[in-house]
DNA sequence: TATTGTTATACTCTATAACTATA
DNA sequence: TATAGTTATAGAGTATAACAATA
């Protein structure tokens, strides 16, 4: 059996030596979630950049696509945890590129609905396919069963903490 | 048995409805790693802020502490994945607060060693204790065995991908 | 010539709050 | 008065590259 170490294992060993009184075992989980996230984010960004999208732009377009309906800027910034001002700026950029449109609301004239244009829909459908293929590729180091187990454990933590 | 949903489960359902042709199962893993990371980061930041440290400042002080020896700015920015300029700025801030010092290197006069001051050492020891206690608290939703399993699965992925 | 580390510059992204229009 | 959304401002953080000193 091969006993390979990862970066967090090294860090745990260093703490063990310098502060043997501390039980740093939770770093084995939390540190690895952080490090995995960082590496995963880099790989996800590779695909976004191929289509000249930032991570947030992808999230906006993907939200509109998977919800299957137009949503207000307020719903968008609350869902994606951005300020209203930041969302306005992001939507502006997508409007300028012809990927989304703002439609006046018929029931509340203060409000508007952000919708995908034909070009935006075609783009996000293409990007999501590349995105999902990329994600499949990223998980090849784990068996289907391990992936399911990992998802299940993270879900249990999230149900208790989100 | 309780079947609670998390946020990612909702998103998976939306994709299933809008794009039933796509196998989005990897989102169950990658999406949850990202979401868990975000929630964990917020909770970790609570402790850092209590001691008026940013996440990066904590990382610098903790690196010095667990390595148990002085390191060069170059080692620091490579380990923490920052640019050299950004590290200079961060170290400056910690020097101004009396938490670290720059010592001239005796073997290479271009270089220096960053060391914890007495105050810096006392501070990081206190913060790390609060940090580890915080991390223990954050994982209470999982049993010891589940935590170990989660760490093991993430480690397997990291060994193959980092 | 190459490398270490600092400094100066410019850029990206953001939150905040002021603001307009409407409810 | 409160809310939806935009705009203007200012701040945090960064990378980049120019720079000085040394290898």
Query: Same structural domain for residues B25 and B65?
Result: no
pLDDT tens sequence for chain B (162 residues): 667 899 999 999 999 999 999 999 999 999 999 999 999 999 999 999 999 999 999 999 999 999 999 999 999 999 999 999 999 999 999 999 999 999 999 999 999 999 999 999 999 999 999 999 999 999 999 999 999 999 999 999 999 998
* Residue corresponding to tokens 């490090």: A35
**What is the tens place of the pLDDT at every residue in A38-58?**
999 999 999 999 999 999 999
How many contacts, defined by CB atoms under 8 Å, are there between A and B? 189
Residue A72 neighbours by CB under 8 Å, 6+ apart: A105, A111, A112, A113, A114
Q: What is the biggest distance separating any 2 CA atoms in chain B, rounded to whole angstroms?
A: 66
Q: Per the structure block, which two tokens stand in for A39?
A: 């590496």
CATH of the domain at A98: 1.10.10.10
Q: What percent of chain A has pLDDT over 70?
A: 99
Q: Which nucleotides of C are covered by protein (CB under 7 A)?
A: 3-9, 13-17, 21-23
Residues with CB under 7 A from strand D: A 72-75, 84-85, 87-89, 91-92, 102, 105, 108, 110-112; B 54, 56, 81-86, 89-90, 108-110
3-state secondary structure of B11: helix
* Residue corresponding to tokens 């289907």: A144
The number of residues in chain A equals: 162
Residue B55 neighbours by CB under 8 Å, 6+ apart: B41, B44, B45, B48
**What is the tens place of the pLDDT at every residue in A81-120?**
999 999 999 999 999 999 999 999 999 999 999 999 999 9
CB A47 within 8 A of CB A55: no
3-state secondary structure of B102: strand
Query: Same structural domain for residues B86 and B30?
Result: no
CB A93 within 8 A of CB A107: no
With an 8 Å Cβ cutoff, are B66 and A11 in contact?
A: yes
- Domain of A109? 7-139
Instruction: Return the pLDDT at A1.
Output: 61
Q: How many domains does chain A have?
A: 1
Instruction: Return the pLDDT at A4.
Output: 86
C-alpha–C-alpha distance, residues A161 and B17, integer Å? 27
Name chain A contacts of B70, Cβ cutoff 8 Å.
none
Q: How far is A93 from chain B (nearest CA, A)?
A: 25
Q: Is residue A107 part of a domain?
A: yes
Rg of the Cα atoms in chain B = 21
Q: Is residue A155 part of a domain?
A: no
Q: Is residue A96 part of a domain?
A: yes
Q: How far is A6 from chain B (nearest CA, A)?
A: 5
Name chain B contacts of A130, Cβ cutoff 8 Å.
none
Any idea what DSSP says for residue B69?
A: S
Q: Is residue A31 part of a domain?
A: yes
Q: Which of A14, B152, A130, B29 is nearest to B6 (CA)?
A: B29
Give the H or E element holding residue B103.
strand B100-104
Q: Smallest CA–C1' separation from A86: which nucleotide?
A: C14
C-alpha–C-alpha distance, residues B162 and B157, integer Å? 8
Instruction: Return the pLDDT at B2.
Output: 61
Instruction: Return the pLDDT at A51.
Output: 96
Query: Same structural domain for residues B43 and B1?
Result: yes
Residue B12: count of CB within 10 angstroms of its CB = 19
Q: Smallest CA–C1' separation from B95: which nucleotide?
A: C6
The number of residues in chain B equals: 162
Q: Which of B62, B13, B61, B81 is nearest to A39 (CA)?
A: B81
Q: Is residue A50 part of a domain?
A: yes
**What is the tens place of the pLDDT at every residue in B38-80?**
999 999 999 999 999 999 999 999 999 999 999 999 999 999 9
Name chain B contacts of A128, Cβ cutoff 8 Å.
19, 22
Query: Same structural domain for residues B69 and B112?
Result: yes
Query: Same structural domain for residues B69 and B146?
Result: yes
CA distances from A5 to A12, A42, A146, B14, B67 (A): 11, 21, 19, 38, 18
Q: What are phi and psi of B90, to 5 degrees?
A: -65, -45
C-alpha–C-alpha distance, residues B76 and B115, integer Å? 11
C-alpha–C-alpha distance, residues B133 and B129, integer Å? 6
3-state secondary structure of A69: coil
Q: Which of B131, B67, B153, B116 is nearest to A10 (CA)?
A: B67
C-alpha–C-alpha distance, residues A138 and B43, integer Å? 27
Q: Is residue A72 part of a domain?
A: yes
């Amino acid at each position: 059996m091969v006993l390979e170490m990862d970066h967090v294992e090294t860090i745990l060993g260093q703490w063990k030596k310098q502060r043997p009184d501390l039980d740093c075992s939770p770093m084995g989980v939390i540190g690895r979630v952080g490090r995995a996230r960082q590496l995963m984010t880099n790989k996800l960004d590779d695909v976004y950049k191929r289509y000249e999208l930032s991570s947030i732009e992808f999230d906006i377009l993907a939200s509109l696509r998977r919800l299957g309906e137009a949503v207000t800027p307020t719903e968008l910034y609350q869902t994606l945890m951005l300020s209203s001002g930041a969302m306005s700026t992001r939507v502006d950029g997508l409007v300028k590129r012809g990927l989304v449109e703002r439609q006046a609301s018929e029931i509340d004239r203060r409000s508007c609905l952000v919708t995908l244009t034909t070009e935006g829909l075609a783009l996000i459908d293409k990007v999501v396919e590349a995105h999902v293929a990329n994600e499949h590729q990223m998980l090849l180091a784990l068996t289907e069963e391990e992936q399911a187990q990992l998802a299940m454990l993270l879900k249990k933590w999230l149900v208790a903490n989100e």
